[in-house]
Amino acid sequence: MKAKILYVEDDESLSFITKDQLEMESYSVTHCVNGKDGWAMFKKGEFDLCLLDVMLPQMDGFELARKIRGVSKHVPIIFLTAKSMQEDKMEGFLLGGDDYVTKPYSFEELKMRIEVFLRRKKIIEEAPKEALQIGKFSFDYSNLDLSVNGQSKGLTQREADILYYLAKRPNQVIRRSDILEDIWGKDDYFYGRSLDVFISRLRKYLNDDPDLSIENVHSVGFKLNIP
For the ranges 21-35, 72-86, 172-186, the maximum mean pLDDT occurs at 21-35
128-225: CATH class: mainly alpha
User: What pLDDT does 128 receive?
Assistant: 66
Quick one: average pLDDT of 168-184?
92
Which H or E element spans position 52? strand 49-53
For the segment 98-154, what is each residue's pLDDT rounded down to a tens digit?
Answer: 888 888 889 998 998 898 888 776 666 666 677 899 999 999 988 889 999 889 998
User: What pLDDT does 205 receive?
Assistant: 95
How far apart CA 174 and CA 144 sit, in angstroms, is 22
For the segment 59-84, what is each residue's pLDDT rounded down to a tens digit?
Answer: 999 999 999 999 988 899 999 987 66
Which residue spans of the chain are classified as CATH 1.10.10.10? 128-225
CA distances from 116 to 18, 67, 77, 108 (A): 18, 23, 12, 12
Q: Is 42 exposed, middle or buried (0-12, 13-18, 19+ CB in 10 A)?
A: buried
Domain boundaries 4-125, corresponding CATH code: 3.40.50.2300
Task: Find out whether 66 and 96 touch, Cβ atoms under 8 Å.
Answer: yes
How far apart CA 58 and CA 36 sit, in angstroms, is 6
User: Which of 111-120, 172-181, 205-214 bottoms out in mean pLDDT, i.e. has the lowest?
Assistant: 111-120
Tell me whether strands 151-154 and 145-148 are parallel, antiparallel or unpaired: antiparallel
How far apart CA 18 and CA 95 sit, in angstroms, is 26
Which residue spans of the chain are classified as CATH 3.40.50.2300? 4-125
